[in-house]
């Protein structure tokens, strides 16, 4: 089995580590500057990857990602002949002509897109639907030590909370990817092709983090600020725009008092669940992917408008972030 991972950031390295342990022939495709760093890492014995857990907060388990091939362009990708291609790139990549062209020029049995908003029709090039699988990342991975908030400064760090990686797509393709992910040591859940749950969860997280940024990345300030309720309202609008048919129970759960209470409680209890500084992680990760956060809020607003739903609070949160940035 050969897998080509497009993107060798923190997420790509953690997935690659699992595939390496599963005995997969692994290739990494990335930008020229990253390609050079990967080649240097191979000469120096591989990439250090550190696994943090509740029992290994200060002394993480040390892994080494070393058995991989560096792929520099489309021609080398073709010669690699991957059975599967896994994309771990930011969301904007999937809207580009480059993405469609790459899928057309590099054959494979399955293509896995690890993307927060899940599968959308505009991501699927003509003739590629049967082999495309959309997945989420339920582990946390980052480069460095979060300014002293957790991890080793010299490599990628990750934490596995025990949640299953969600997969959506055609049944046969999903089962092939599921089999490989499980062999690589990950838990997996397979949803229906028309499932919108991943996008709904992303909508809640995006709104929550948007409000947190406007509260200066302080959970204490967040729970006392105007932004917590406004983020909860934006989350409600965004989720309803992702769910074609929201039941009466779902609408009750998405009520502003319920969501606001949930967000408030999250500021107290979420930090207790992770063996690193959650505030610093969220600030590090979401500032790094800020363009993606803004793009997601725009996407949720457009989806809501198409369904003639209110999106004023999403727009207000988006404007606040733009003014803040």
For the chain of 325 residues, list the mean pLDDT of each consecutive stretch of 10. Answer: 96 97 96 91 94 91 95 96 96 90 95 89 78 94 95 96 92 95 96 80 96 98 97 96 79 85 97 96 95 94 95 97 92
Distance CA 72, CA 32 (A): 7
Question: What is the structure's pLDDT at 251?
Answer: 76
Count structural domains, the chain: 2
Residues 11 and 119 in one domain: yes
DSSP per residue, 11-60: HHHHHHHHHHHTT-EEEEE--HHHHHHHHHHHHTT-EEEEEEETTEEEEE
Q: Which residue matches tokens 């993480």?
A: 60
Residues 40 and 146 in one domain: yes
Quote the DSSP letter at residue 163.
P
- pTM (two decimals): 0.93
Residues 15 and 153 in one domain: yes
Residues 149 and 245 in one domain: no
- Using only the alpha carbons of the chain, give its radius of gyration: 20
Question: What is the structure's pLDDT at 129?
Answer: 76
Residues 176 and 212 in one domain: no
Task: Select from 149, 174, 190 the last residue of a domain.
Answer: 190
Tell me: the pLDDT tens digits for 273-315?
999 999 999 999 999 999 999 999 999 999 999 999 999 999 9
Task: Select from 159, 190, 221 the last residue of a domain.
Answer: 190
CATH code: domain of residue 111: 3.40.50.720
H helix runs in the chain, sequence order: 10-21, 32-43, 74-80, 97-105, 171-183, 197-214, 219-224, 226-242, 248-253, 256-269, 278-288, 290-306, 312-324
Distance CA 110, CA 15 (A): 16
Angle between the N-to-C axes of helices 290-306 and 197-214, in degrees from 0 to 180, rounded to the nearest 10: 120
Enter the tokens of residue 290: 């800020």
Question: What is the structure's pLDDT at 253?
Answer: 73
Residues 53 and 179 in one domain: yes
Question: What is the structure's pLDDT at 191?
Answer: 85
* Count of C-beta atoms within a 10 Å radius of residue 166: 19
Work out whether strand 47-53 and strand 156-159 pair parallel, antiparallel, or are unpaired: parallel
Question: What is the structure's pLDDT at 245?
Answer: 79
Distance CA 252, CA 247 (A): 9
Distance CA 14, CA 51 (A): 9
Task: Select from 147, 164, 190 the last residue of a domain.
Answer: 190
Helix (H, G, I), strand (E, B) or coil at 128: coil
Question: What is the structure's pLDDT at 197?
Answer: 82
Kindly report the backbone phi and psi dihedral angles of residue 59, in degrees, each rounded to the nearest multiple of 5, phi listed first: -130, 75
Distance CA 234, CA 251 (A): 14
Contacts of 28 (CB under 8 A, 6+ apart): 4, 5, 8, 12, 16, 38, 68, 69, 70, 71
Tell me: the pLDDT tens digits for 183-206?
999 999 998 776 678 889 999 999
Give me the domain span that covers residue 237. 197-324
Residues 208 and 181 in one domain: no
Residues 104 and 162 in one domain: yes
Enter the tokens of residue 30: 């990335």
Please, are residues 237 and 300 in contact by the beta-carbon 8 Å criterion?
yes
Tell me: the pLDDT tens digits for 220-243?
999 999 999 999 999 999 999 998
Residues 23 and 116 in one domain: yes
Residues 294 and 179 in one domain: no
Residues 181 and 235 in one domain: no
Residues 123 and 214 in one domain: no
Q: How far is CA 170 from CA 114, 131, 243, in A?
A: 15, 7, 20
Distance CA 35, CA 8 (A): 9
Distance CA 316, CA 263 (A): 18
Question: What is the structure's pLDDT at 189?
Answer: 94
Question: What is the structure's pLDDT at 20?
Answer: 96
Question: What is the structure's pLDDT at 260?
Answer: 95
């Amino acid at each position: 089995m050969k897998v080509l991972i497009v993107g060798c950031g923190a997420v790509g390295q953690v997935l690659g580590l699992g595939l390496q342990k599963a005995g997969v022939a692994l290739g990494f495709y990335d930008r020229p500057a990253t390609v050079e760093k990967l080649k240097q890492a191979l000469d120096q014995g591989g990439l250090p990857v550190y696994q943090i857990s509740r029992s290994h907060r200060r002394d993480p388990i040390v892994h080494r990602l070393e058995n991989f091939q560096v792929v520099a362009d489309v021609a080398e990708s073709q010669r690699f002949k991957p059975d599967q291609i896994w994309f771990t790139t930011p969301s904007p990549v999937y809207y580009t002509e480059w993405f469609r062209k790459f899928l057309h020029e590099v054959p494979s049995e399955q293509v896995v897109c690890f993307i927060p908003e899940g599968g959308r029709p505009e991501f699927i090039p003509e003739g590629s639907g049967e082999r495309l699988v959309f997945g989420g990342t339920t582990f946390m991975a980052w480069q460095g030590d979060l300014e002293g908030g957790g991890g080793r400064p010299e490599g990628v760090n990750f934490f596995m909370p025990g949640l299953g990686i969600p997969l959506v797509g055609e049944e046969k393709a999903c089962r092939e990817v599921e089999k490989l992910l499980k062999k690589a040591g990950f838990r997996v859940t397979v949803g229906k092709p028309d499932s919108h749950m991943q996008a709904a969860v992303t909508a809640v997280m995006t709104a929550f983090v948007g409000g947190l940024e406007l509260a200066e990345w302080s959970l204490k300030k967040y729970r006392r600020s105007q932004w917590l309720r406004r983020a909860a309202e934006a989350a409600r609008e965004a989720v309803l725009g992702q769910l074609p048919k929201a039941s009466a129970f779902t609408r009750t759960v998405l009520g502003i008092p319920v969501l606001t209470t949930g967000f408030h409680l999250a500021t107290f209890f979420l930090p207790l669940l992770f063996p690193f500084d959650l505030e610093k992680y969220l600030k590090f990760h979401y500032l790094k992917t800020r363009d993606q956060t803004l793009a997601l809020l725009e996407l949720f607003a457009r989806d809501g408008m198409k369904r003639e739903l209110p999106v004023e609070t999403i727009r207000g949160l988006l404007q606040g972030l733009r003014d803040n940035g």
